[in-house]
Structure 1
Amino acid sequence: MLAAMVTRFSPDDPLAGLTVGHHVDPAPREHWTTVDVRAAALNQHDLWSLRGVGLKPDQLPMVLGTDGAGVTPDGREVVLHAVVGGASGHGVGPDEPRSLLSERYPGTIAERVAVPTWNLVAKPSELSFVEAACVPTAWLTAYRMLFVTGRAQPGQRVLVQGAGGGVATAAIRLAAAAGLEVWVTSRDETRRARALELGAAGAVASGERLPVRVDLVVETVGAATWSHSVRSVRPGGTIVVAGATTGDPAAMEIQRVFFLEIAVLGATMGTRQDLEQLLAFLARTGVRPVVDSTVPLARVGEGLARLARGEQFGKVVAEV
């Protein structure tokens, strides 16, 4: 089968370690299902894998991809929950630590992928394969940050740091659809304007003071925005962290955190139940993932290059 793989690590030029070529088909395995992939969204996780983060040399070649939607051998249209192992243990046993597809097991940017059968979630007919493929990583993370970890309620205010990325774009759309007042930051005026089109109530330049304090901050940027997040949340408010693309902040501003009783919580992906609920939310509300662009599997390097340059607004998706 055709697949996009990490064949060597390249910390400074991640695309140099990418190979799109033949890979062996998944072998049959009890309690697992091989899915014919129709679409696979690209993520920052794929670029980190190409840099060598989270993988060892003896795991190469490793098929990239955590997001996918496709068709099972019996014709069911499904979305793949990317988390394998951990507390559930379905398909691998309860003692295996949690991992994402493309970390221990081959990922989704391929013609076929094998996953524990328990990880299959029915794709709503209202969503296309491309739209559905955007959901399991970025959109699921945003959903969990807002409504599970952050416990956001309609009428509250939320700040989303860094418009344009997959999680940020998802957070804007989901929060606005749920009745939250959304504020967004970005260095780019065009991205701020697009955030307003997606439903944000206001958009400011990165680091600019907000006219109001927010109840919740969706933080995935890290060092570049951390101080602004701490100073933008109300006393007793919450900052939910699910990434640090600009690295760890040099100063955590601990005094402000404890004096204002700010809660700092971490979130990673979401559960299978979260994914089912999110897909139902999208189907019922008409909210759809923002797709920046699509590329054929054979040219997935072009999509990853766009992601690496930070040019995308929304999700880049490989179609199979």
Structure 2
Amino acid sequence: MLAAFATSFSPDSPLDGLQVGDAPEPVERENWTTVDVRAASLNHHDVWSLRGVGLREQQLPMILGTDAAGVAPDGSEVILHGVVGADGHGVGPREPRTLLSEHYPGTLAERVAVPTANLIPKPSGLSFEEAACLPVSWLTAYTMLFTVGGLAPGDSVLVQGAGGGVSTAAVLLGVAAGLEVFVTSRSEEKRKRALGLGAAAALAPGERLPRRVDVVLESVGRATWQHSVRSVRPGGTIAVCGATSGDASPAELTRIFFQEIRVQGVTMGSRDDLAALANFVARQDVKPLIDSVHPLARTREAMSAMVDGAQFGKIVVTP
């Protein structure tokens, strides 16, 4: 079958280790299901894998991809939850949590095997391309806003960085839930587009907010951390799902403990959260924002666009 996989690591030139070609069919396992992939979306996790983060040489070649939507053997249309081992379904009881494309082959392929319990019904109102955006970026944004952030209509949130999958999801979900959403971006064009999605204000990086927010969604790291700490209200929460610009330094610990700010890490979310997210977008008629769709054979071109950071929304690949 056709797949996109990592064959080597390069911290400075990650695409050098990306190859698209023939790969073995998924291995049949008890309590697992092989799904025909109809669409998968790219994530920064794929780039980090190509840089050698989370993978070892002996695991190569490894099929990349952590989320997808497709068709199960019984003909049902499903969304794949990419976290394996979170509660023992389909794996050994002592196996630590991992993501597809770390210990098990990922979703950038014509077919992928996942624990059967990880299959969530796809809402009929979403296309396969839209549904493929939910399991990583959209689930992460949902978890940060509602599960970790505990936000309710009328609350406020700052989303650091506009344009990526998590940030566009956070804006669309936040607006649909009645939140006051602030966004930052270096790009004036991306700030304008964020306002078009319903953000209350779109600011340049480091620009002072009209008032401190209840929750900050942080995925950038070093470049925005100080602004995040100084933009959240006393007793508020900073939810962290990544650090694309590197680890924060200094950590602003004095301000964090004195103002009793909670810092919570987030990696995707539970299957129950994914099911709740699917129901939410179906009922609110919220559609994931897709930047572009590429055939699986042109995954390198799709990945290059994400590495360059030029996208606004999710980049999707279809076998």
TM over 0.5: yes
- Measured in 1, the distance between the counterparts of 2:72 and 2:64 equals 20
Supply the AA of the counterpart residue of 2:157: V
User: Displacement of 1:236 after TM fit?
Assistant: 1.4
1:192 corresponds to: 191
Unaligned runs of 5+ in 1: none
Partner of 1:273, secondary structure, is helix
- Measured in 1, the distance between the counterparts of 2:277 and 2:18 equals 32
- Measured in 2, the distance between the counterparts of 1:159 and 1:193 equals 16
- Measured in 1, the distance between the counterparts of 2:294 and 2:216 equals 33
The number of equivalent residue pairs is: 319
TM-score by length of 1: 0.99
2:177 corresponds to: 178
Post-superposition CA distance 1:164-193 (Å, at most 9, x none)? 111111111111110000000001100000
User: Displacement of 1:93 after TM fit?
Assistant: 2.2
- Measured in 2, the distance between the counterparts of 1:195 and 1:45 equals 24
Q: Matches of residues 21-100 of structure 1 in structure 2 within 5 Å?
A: 21-86=21-86, 88-100=87-99
Corresponding position: 1:278 with 2:287: no
Supply the AA of the counterpart residue of 2:67: D
Q: Matches of residues 239-250 of structure 1 in structure 2 within 5 Å?
A: 239-250=238-249
Post-superposition CA distance 1:224-260 (Å, at most 9, x none)? 0000011111111111111111111111111111111
Moved more, 2-11 or 256-265: 256-265
Give RMSD over aligned pairs. Answer: 0.7
Partner of 1:66, secondary structure, is coil
1:130 corresponds to: 129
Unaligned runs of 5+ in 2: none
Corresponding position: 1:201 with 2:209: no
1:11 corresponds to: 11
1:121 corresponds to: 120
- Structure 1 residue runs of 4 or more that deviate by more than 4 Å after TM superposition: none
User: Displacement of 1:263 after TM fit?
Assistant: 1.2
- Measured in 2, the distance between the counterparts of 1:177 and 1:254 equals 34
- Measured in 1, the distance between the counterparts of 2:236 and 2:100 equals 34
1:237 corresponds to: 236
1:227 corresponds to: 226
User: Displacement of 1:5 after TM fit?
Assistant: 0.5
2:143 corresponds to: 144
- Measured in 1, the distance between the counterparts of 2:152 and 2:294 equals 37
- Measured in 2, the distance between the counterparts of 1:7 and 1:238 equals 39
User: Displacement of 1:153 after TM fit?
Assistant: 1.1
- Measured in 2, the distance between the counterparts of 1:308 and 1:241 equals 20
- Measured in 1, the distance between the counterparts of 2:187 and 2:27 equals 46
Supply the AA of the counterpart residue of 2:37: V
1:106 corresponds to: 105
Supply the AA of the counterpart residue of 2:128: F
Partner of 2:89, secondary structure, is coil
User: Displacement of 1:20 after TM fit?
Assistant: 0.3
